Amino acid sequence: MENLALIESFSEFKDDKLIDRVTLMTILEDVFRNALKKKFGDDDNFDIIINPDKGDLEIWRNRIVVADDAVENENQEISLSEAQKIEPDFEVGEDVSEEVKLFDLGRRSILALRQNLIAKIQEHDNTNIYKQFKDLEGEIYAAEVHHIRHRAVILLDDEGNELILPKDKQIPSDFFRKGENVRGIIESVELKGNKPNIVMSRTAPAFLEKLFEQEIPEVFDGLISIKNVVRIPGEKAKVAVDSYDDRIDPVGACVGMKGSRIHGIVRELGNENIDVINYTNNLQLYITRSLSPARVTSVKIDEETKRVEVILKPEEVSKAIGRGGHNIRLAGRLTGYEIDVFREGVEEDVELSEFSDEIESWIIQEFSKVGLDTAKSILEQDVNDLVKRTDLEVETIEDVIRILKEEFEE
């Protein structure tokens, strides 16, 4: 009866987990051989016959007949008198095959068998899930919010696979409810123990790139290529696009009539401001376009230091820097150059680096990150704006302003 109950569960596993017949038979044999090793110390002399479709299972132990007083290994050898109880005509040196019933293994072994079988099938499932999602790395995937934790959101897909969306991979404005569908990109898949750890991201530049592929047919068809994507998630993004067909305007095709094509992407990313710019091999023009919506007067490139000096009219400077310094930071990441902004026609300005004896270098770097490299560029800003743009304390900024003012008062 126990034999039958255990076998019935085999076909359940096969149907539930969609395991092919050969794999199931391999797993079953492996599980039974482990149980035999624990019971008898060795499994080399056992034959296991399994038919998971019909629910048949037979275990046969093969032993050699030896003289009554010559038995050294009870698992491998059987005494002549014991063998003759099975068949009276057995002689020394012959092989005896004897069926082992499941209940001979003991009730605890049978329970352990079932648990071992479940663990092995779970391990097989996990390996398959790992392979499935490893192939999906870098692709968009949708799943349902199952549980919201402080540091991550746990998602479940239609097949019950668990995905993790960590807090730092969420857009700052993201707000999820249980049961809600969430889209993101499969960023990494790793095996932790025997369980696949699938991490989804909504902040990766690749997510924006894949959204362009989904929403814009020309990108999907390969008529428009995406050269580079940079993002400050939830705030601003810049996408450089190029077309292989001169008749297609890549920026117009991506944005659409009155922004119709890009609206869906902007909504998906929590109203992230997306600048689509035309890619070009002309570096000067590329840098000029990367600073849009600001209009650049002139560009001076230093290839060795990978720095660029950009001259703009005073009214264009704030556009080039952008709110919180986002525009200039993204333009630098897009082009691969550090961009310094200078006002056109402004004389008697002093480079901030010249104050290195009075202002610490890390403070100067903080200002440089947001495009403020000269004394006047800082003095023209409001203290509160400077606090928002940089990671500096109010007292530090006030000290810097005092030092700079003293320079000009002299």
Q: Are 50 and 29 in contact (CB under 8 A)?
A: yes
Pair 122, 6 in one domain:
yes
Q: Is residue 198 part of a domain?
A: yes
The CB density around residue 147, as the number of other CB atoms within 10 Å, is 11
Give the DSSP letter string of 265-311. Answer: HHHHTTS-EEEEEE--S-HHHHHHHHTTTSPEEEEEEETTTTEEEEE
Structure tokens at 382: 């409001």
93 in the same domain as 7:
yes
Its sign, for the CA torsion 360, 366, 372, 376, is negative
- Whether 287 is covered by a domain: the verdict is no
Answer positive or negative: Cα dihedral of 317, 318, 322, 324: positive
Non-local CB neighbours of 194 within 8 Å, separated by 6+ positions: 122, 123, 126
Q: What are phi and psi for residue 154, nearest 5 degrees? A: -95, 125
190: phi then psi, degrees, rounded to nearest 5? -135, 150
Q: Which residue has the tokens 């192939």?
A: 135
For residue 183, what is the domain's CATH number?
2.40.50.140
On whether both 81 and 15 belong to a single domain, the answer is yes
* Maximum Cα–Cα distance across the chain: 122
The answer as to whether 319 is a domain residue is no
Q: What kind and span of H or E run contains 123?
A: helix 107-134
Angle, helices 260-268 vs 205-215, to 10°: value is: 140
Residues 24 and 121 occupy one common structural domain: yes
Shared domain check, 220 and 234: yes
Domain boundary among 144, 168, 203: 203
Inside any domain, residue 345: no
Own/partner contacts of 93-96, CB < 8 Å, gap of 24 or more, are: 93/64, 93/65, 94/64, 94/65, 95/62, 95/63, 95/64, 95/65, 96/62, 96/63, 96/64, 96/65
Q: Dihedral sign for Cα 342, 343, 345, 346, please.
A: negative
Whether residue 405 lies inside any domain: the answer is no
Within 13 Å of residue 17, how many CA atoms lie on the same side as its CB?
24
Task: Say if 358 falls within a structural domain.
Answer: no
Same domain, 156 and 113: no
Report the first-to-last Cα separation within the chain, whole angstroms. 102
* Predicted pLDDT of residue 202: 96
- pLDDT by residue, tens only, the chain of 410 residues: 344 455 555 555 555 555 666 677 777 777 778 777 777 777 778 877 777 666 567 788 788 888 877 777 777 777 877 777 777 777 787 887 777 776 666 667 667 777 777 777 777 788 888 999 999 999 999 999 999 998 999 999 998 899 999 999 999 999 999 999 999 999 999 988 778 999 999 999 999 999 999 999 999 999 999 999 999 999 999 999 999 888 889 999 999 888 889 999 999 999 999 999 999 999 999 999 999 889 998 899 988 889 999 998 888 888 888 888 899 999 999 999 999 888 876 555 677 877 887 888 888 888 888 888 888 888 888 888 888 888 888 888 888 888 888 776 65
Buried-state track 373-383, b at ≥16 Cβ within 10 A, e below 16: bbbbbbeebee
pLDDT value of position 346: 54
User: Can you give the pLDDT at residue 179?
Assistant: 92
Counted domains in the chain:
3
Domain range for 185 is 136-203
Question: Do residue 113 and residue 79 come from a single domain?
Answer: yes
User: According to the model, what pLDDT value does residue 86 have?
Assistant: 77
Query: What does each C-alpha distance from 189 to 116, 197, 208, 264, 388 come to in angstroms?
Result: 26, 6, 20, 28, 37
Boundary residue ending a domain (172, 203, 234): 203
Assess whether 119 and 141 both reside in one domain: no
Q: How far apart are CA 200 and CA 210, in angstroms?
A: 14
Contact 147, 178 (CB under 8 A): yes
For residues 101 and 190, what is the distance between their CA atoms, to the nearest angstrom? Answer: 41
20 and 127 both lie in a single domain: yes
Please tell me whether residues 198 and 209 are part of one structural domain: no
Supply the CATH number for residue 232's domain.
3.30.300.20
Q: How far apart are CA 367 and CA 375, in angstroms?
A: 10
Residue 119 sits in a domain whose CATH number is 3.30.1480
One domain for residues 127 and 6: yes
Number of H helices, E strands in the chain: 15, 15
List the structure tokens of 322.
Answer: 């952008």
Q: Examine residue 123 and state whether it is found in any structural domain, yes or no.
A: yes
Dist. CA 333–CA 114, nearest whole Å: 56
In a domain, 327, yes or no: no
Whole-prediction pTM: 0.66
Angle at 302 between CA 300 and CA 306, to 5 degrees: 120
Rounded CA separation 178/155 (Å) = 9
Q: Is the separation of the CB atoms in 201 and 207 below 8 Å?
A: yes
Three-class DSSP labels, 80-113: HHHHHHHCCCCCCCCEEEEECCHHHHCHHHHHHH
> What is the arrangement of strands in the sheet containing 338-343, beginning at the earlier edge strand?
296-302, 307-312, 338-343
C-alpha span between 314 and 153 (Å, rounded): 46
163 and 214 housed in the same domain: no
Alpha carbon 259 to its chain centroid, in Å, reads: 30
Last residue of a domain, one of 279, 301, 331: 279
Output the pLDDT for position 52: 63
